[in-house]
Amino acid sequence: MERIGVFVCHCGINISSMVDVESIVERVRELDGVVEAKSYKYMCSDRGAQIIKKSIEEKGIDGAVIACCSPRMHEPTFRGVAEDGGMNPFTVEIANIREQCSWAHDSRERSTEKAMKLVMSSVAKARLLEPLERGRTPVIPNALVIGGGIAGIQASLDLANEGFRVYLVEKDPSIGGRMAQLDKTFPTLDCSSCILTPKMMEVYHHPNIDLMTYSEVLSIEGSIGDYRVKVRRKPRYVDVDRCTGCGDCVTACRMRDRIPDEFNMGLSNRSAIYIQFPQAIPLKAVMDSETCLFHRFGKCGDGPLCVEACEAEAIDFEQKEEVAELNVGAIVVATGYDLLDPASLHEYGYSRSKNVITTLELERLISSSGPTKGEVRLPSSGERPRSVTMIMCVGSRDETQCSWCCRIGCMTALKQVILLRENLGEEVEINILYTDIRSFGKGYEEFYRNVRAENTNFFRGRPSEVRIRNEDIRIDIFDTITNKLFEIRTDMVVLVPAVVPRADSGEFARMMNLSRSGDGFLLEAHLKLKPMDTFVNGIFIAGCCQGPKDITDTVAQASGAASRAAGILSKKELENDPLIAVVDADLCSGCRICISLCPYSAIEPVVETMAGEEVVHAEINEVLCQGCGACVAACPSGAINQMGFKDNQILAMIGVLNDCSDAGGLK
Amino acid sequence: MSEYDPNIIAFLCNWCAYAGADLAGTSRLKYPSNVKSIRIMCSGRVDPVFILEALREGADGILVAGCHPGDCHYQSGNYKTSRKIRLLRRLLRELNMDPERVRFEHISASEGQKFADVVTDFVNELKVMGPNPLKGECQ
């Protein structure tokens, strides 16, 4: 561009304390093509925007360099300002003099020198920028929600109620997720299934929701507004249209009570054909082909008993896996979490005694639909425990395991104190070994005080070891409040394990093209300001896949993610980013190197007849192109360029950063 | 000639390395100001010509940084570039130029500390290596 305005932000004192802003303004005025140079305390403020717009109007600037914070922060802001002021938004270039200059260096002189270089290199690029127009793509008004826990359920219902078609994909035979395994929820002691089941039913009966249980996302293609998703529907070997959920097949199965029940955390056994839990949605049987005798050996006694028992004739051994292809405009990922397997922490004795269990296992023992029909009993003997000891932060806030706080452990343990008293009577002795009690939510601190007021022993510290000799469990704990070493004898130990990313989260993130944070949870676009967004446009995250959280926060985030997705789906068409690769057909030799490199299959060979001869050249689909520039860097003819990142623009920046005189432009 | 102060040009991918460099700033980690970055959307955009041109013009060091293997926002750009750079370093040796002047690093959006460490280390290494012999040809 020929008439460039340079706008340098003080960012309060964030920039100006380390960078001499005025000297930059004075210096850039001298540069070729710069017709305006200004500074302001907060360029991103309304007043700052006015300054830029005034320059567009009065000085007729057609390009702008904003020296401010990272373009990851405010590039969209300033593009918007330019557009409002009547300038092409793509002739705006950001020089990052805050994150990568004033905040990172401690010499004012050197920071100023570096900031100057950065601004000058941005001016060099801005001179070569070109006005660009956004393309448009129609939006498919359907949504995909991955994961049928409380987050996925909430997001699906919100989107469906807004009128969008929703595909809810759940890998288990039933929706409900972890919340379905809980007995009661803190801090209100609502029965978990009482508040969850109605929502599950609503999902099942909602005319806008296509529920796909026992299914997994296989692959994903396309981009915001138009994703094409393949979903693998695993065979249930039960015709769901016929199955009435009566459970006759479950009782008839020859493998009855012989397979560890995953839903009950292995504390009870199920059949090879089973209904995941009594409130399962859909309430349909599912056959586990890995344990079913007929599937494994082609033979089950004189004939499968399930077939005999099923009056509805719903059993179908011939069912095959199916792959469904969905077309959606936006995606909400709500894939949940795993709990750390405490067996990896030998000192807690999880693998050495049946009476050392986790909170989730206790939850199943307390639940009236659980393995003991709601009676808390010692897994080893079936007797009532007289004393229960809860150990918090098992693996959490531990540099050697998970450095983070699980956010639900303290409240879960406190809740279970109340449930244990209800179950075992007031006389049961309960010990809590805690690091800190974190009762941060609404009503949580009050809940904690109520529990603390009751007859419960609190020890602040981490046990050195859980010593186990047959039924006798002893724990050594140094209480850091009284500075004393205690030995606790207890019948049952309940471990509060760390909340960890799902075991397959790496693989899943790769397939979805999502990033993960250092802890392995899915990475949000901005921790505070875009907690539901990801770096992939049109894909949002909700619940514990993003990081540990309680049900309250999960539901809030799920509604937030649904609302973000609805913002896309409610539009007829979206504007495409024009910062994509473009082929100059005249220069293209038709070598096809770019075609093999493109990760999005966005490039195709086009055959044209020129002067009676057939010539091939590459053509880039502007909707599919994501603007990575791999083809640009690889083109041997220099026939491809990336808008906004053209070779000459980058080379001009390099020239300035090298003080190179033939880079030109310095008066 | 003033005292030798290495000049490093960094090509940082928007999604990981540039975000990591931003995080270093946001976390107020201090590192030498010798590095000046050029933001690109993907490290895969780095044309070896950029690096050769930068060296010809006298840059003392070139840092190319992208996402960790498997984390590329564009699936495989970082891998393509790591291969290109390996070849380029071999070419530099042929040209009698120290290949250590060109570095490729994987820096994620959460690795502000790594970015600061890489820059600090690179600056120290370049100080030992001395200025780019081509320096001054075009200045």
* Digit-coded pLDDT (tens) for A519-563: 999 988 878 888 999 878 899 999 999 999 999 999 999 999 999
What lies within 8 Å, CB to CB, of A317 at 6+ separation is A237, A294, A295, A304
| CA A62 remoteness from chain centre | 40
Nearest to A633 among B7, B46, B75 (CB): B46
By residue count, chain A amounts to 667
Instruction: In chain A, list all ranges with CATH 3.30.70.20.
Output: 581-642
Is the Cβ of B124 closer than 8 Å to some Cβ of chain A? no
Contact between chains at A113 and B33 (C-beta distance less than 8 A)? yes
pLDDT of residue A661: 62
- Chain A residues whose CB is inside 8 A of the B48 CB are 633
Amino acid letter for position A157: L
* Among B88, B93, B36, B96, CA closest to B61: B36
Residue B4: pLDDT above 50?
yes
Contact with chain B for residue A658, Cβ under 8 A: yes
Quote the CA–CA distance of A394 and A114 in Å, as a whole number.
48
In this complex, is the C-beta atom of B17 within 8 Å of any C-beta atom belonging to chain A? no
Local structure of A6: helix, strand or coil:
strand
pLDDT in tens, B103-128: 999 999 999 999 999 999 999 999 99
Answer yes or no: are the C-beta atoms of A9 and A42 closer than 8 Å: yes
Domain ranges of chain B: 8-129
Q: Which of A626, A633, A657 faces B9 most closely, judged by CB atoms?
A: A657
Interface of B with A in 59-98 (CB under 8 A): 59, 67, 70-71, 73-77, 80-81, 84
In chain A, how long is the greatest CA-to-CA distance? Answer: 97
- Please give the span between the terminal C-alpha atoms of chain A, in angstroms, as a whole number: 17
Angstroms from A35 CA to nearest CA on chain B: 24
- What architecture is domain A340-500? 3-Layer(bba) Sandwich (3.50)
Among the listed residues A460, A457, A493, A458, the one whose alpha carbon sits nearest the alpha carbon of residue A475: A493
**Which residue intervals of chain A bear CATH 3.50.50.60?**
142-233+321-336+503-569, 340-500
How far apart are the CA of B81 and the nearest CA of chain A, in angstroms?
9
pLDDT digits (tens, 9 = 90+) for A415-455: 999 999 999 999 999 999 999 999 999 999 999 999 998 88
- Check if the beta carbon of residue A272 is closer than 8 Å to that of residue A288: yes
Pick the residue from chain B with its C-alpha nearest to A536: B73
Q: Which of A70, A110, A117 sits opposite B22 (nearest CB)?
A: A70
SS3 B100: helix
Give the single-character DSSP code of A119: H
Which tokens belong to A314?
A: 């719903």
| CA pair distance A218, A436, nearest whole angstrom | 42
Q: Measure Cα distances from A216 to A141, A168, A226, A421, A504 in Å.
A: 21, 10, 19, 41, 12
Chain A environment of B24 (Cβ under 8 Å):
99-100, 104
Give A647's contacts in chain B (Cβ within 8 Å).
47, 49
Contact between residue A90 and residue A129 where contact means Cβ atoms under 8 Å apart? yes
How far does the CA of residue B131 sit from the closest CA of chain A (Å)? Answer: 13
The shortest C-alpha distance from A515 to chain B (Å) reads 6
Q: A429: distance to nearest CA of chain B, Å?
A: 45
Q: Which residue of B has its CA nearest to A518?
A: B110
What is the spatial distance between Cα A138 and Cα A576, in angstroms, rounded to a whole number? 10
Contact A629 B40 (CB under 8 A): yes
Chain A residues in contact with B7 (beta carbon < 8 A): 657-658
A104 and B54 within 8 Å at the Cβ level: the answer is no
CA distance B94 to chain A (A): 21
Mark yes or no for CB contact A654/B45 under 8 Å: no
Domain A142-233+321-336+503-569 belongs to what topology? FAD/NAD(P)-binding domain (3.50.50)
Enter the CATH code of domain A581-642: 3.30.70.20
Helix or strand (DSSP H, E) at A567: helix A551-569
Higher per-residue confidence, A667 vs A95? A95
Q: Which of A116, A516, A628, A646 to mutate to test the interface with B (most CBs of B within 10 A)?
A: A628
Nearest-neighbour CA in chain A from B121: distance (Å): 15
Which pLDDT tens digit goes with each residue over A77-109?
999 999 999 999 999 999 999 999 999 999 999
Q: Is B39 on the interface with A (CB under 8 A)?
A: yes
Whether the CB of A534 is below 8 Å from some CB of chain B: the reply is no
- Structural contact between residues A143 and A167, judged by C-beta atoms closer than 8 angstroms: yes
Distance from CA of A528 to the nearest CA of B (A): 14
Task: Please choose, from the candidates A520, A515, A514, A513, the residue with its C-alpha nearest in 3D space to the C-alpha of residue A499.
Answer: A520
CB-closest option in B45, B80, B111 to A645:
B45
Question: Could you count the other beta carbons within 10 Å of the beta carbon of residue A648?
Answer: 12
| Residues of B whose CB is below 8 A from A600 | 74
Predicted confidence band of residue A377 (pLDDT cuts 50, 70, 90): very high
CB-CB contact of A155 with A542 (8 Å): yes
Choose among B7, B16, B74: nearest Cβ to A658: B7
Residue whose token pair is 């946001």 = B26
Q: Give the per-residue pLDDT at A471.
A: 84
Contacts for B2-6 with beta carbons within 8 Å, 24 or more apart? B4/B127, B4/B130, B4/B131, B5/B34, B6/B34, B6/B60, B6/B61, B6/B123, B6/B126, B6/B127, B6/B131
- For residues A149 and A523, what is the distance between their CA atoms, to the nearest angstrom? 19
Q: How many residues does chain B have?
A: 139
Residues A51-70: pLDDT tens digits?
999 999 999 999 999 999 99
Cβ of residue A106 closer than 8 Å to a chain B Cβ: yes
CA distance A531 to A557: 8
CA B139 to CA A89: how far, in whole Å? 34
Q: Are B30 and A106 in contact (CB under 8 A)?
A: yes
B21:A657 CB<8 A = no
User: Is B108 in Cβ contact with A515 (below 8 Å)?
Assistant: yes
Distances (CA, A) of A303 to A237, A259, A641: 16, 20, 67
Question: Which residues of B are less than 8 Å from A123 in CB distance?
Answer: none
Please tell me which residue of chain B has the smallest CA distance to A115. Answer: B36
> A221 to chain B: which residues are within 8 Å by CB?
none
Say how many CA atoms lie within 13 Å of A214 toward its Cβ.
Answer: 23
d(CA A161, CA A209): 9
Beta bridge partners of B40: B13
- Please name the CATH architecture into which domain A4-134 falls: 3-Layer(aba) Sandwich (3.40)
Could you tell me how many CB contacts below 8 A there are between chain A and chain B? 160
Query: Tell me, what's the pLDDT at B70?
Result: 77
* A20: contact with B, CB 8 A cutoff: no
For residue range A559-585, what is the model confidence (pLDDT) as tens digits?
999 999 999 999 999 888 899 999 999
The 3-state secondary structure of A267-320 reads: CCEECCEECCCCCCCCCCCEECCCCCHHHHHCCCCCCCHHHHHCCCCCECCCCC
Q: How far apart are the first and last CA of chain B?
A: 12
Average pLDDT over residues B45-66: 96
Fill in the DSSP letter of residue A530: B
**Is the pLDDT score of A665 beyond 50?**
no
* pLDDT tens digits, one per residue of A574-615: 888 899 999 999 999 999 999 999 887 789 899 988 888 888
Report the pLDDT value the prediction gives residue A667, as an integer from 0 to 100. Answer: 30
Cα B110 to Cα A317: distance, rounded to the nearest angstrom: 49
Interface confidence: ipTM more than 0.95: yes
- pLDDT band (50, 70, 90) for residue B2: low
- Interface probe, candidates B33, B56, B60, chain A, greatest A C-beta count within 10 A: B33
Q: Flag if A100 and B70 touch (Cβ within 8 Å).
A: no
* Residue A523 near chain B (CB below 8 Å): yes
Residue A663 has pLDDT above 60, yes or no: no
Contact A214, A173 (CB under 8 A): yes
Q: How far is B49 from chain A (nearest CA, A)?
A: 9
Contacts 24+ apart (CB under 8 A), A568-571: A568/A139, A568/A224, A568/A225, A568/A329, A568/A330, A568/A538, A569/A139, A569/A141, A569/A142, A569/A143, A569/A159, A569/A162, A569/A164, A569/A329, A569/A330, A570/A141, A570/A162, A571/A139
User: Distance (Å, rounded) from C-alpha A104 to C-alpha B47?
Assistant: 28
User: CA nearest A525 in B: which residue?
Assistant: B15
Question: B-chain residues within 8 Å CB-CB of A634?
Answer: 80
Q: Let me know if domain B8-129 sits in CATH 3.40.50.
A: yes
Q: Does A630 touch chain B (CB under 8 A)?
A: yes
Question: In whole angstroms, what is the distance from residue B18 CA to residue B81 CA?
Answer: 16
Q: Does B49 touch chain A (CB under 8 A)?
A: yes
Q: Is any Cβ of chain A less than 8 angstroms from the Cβ of B29? A: yes
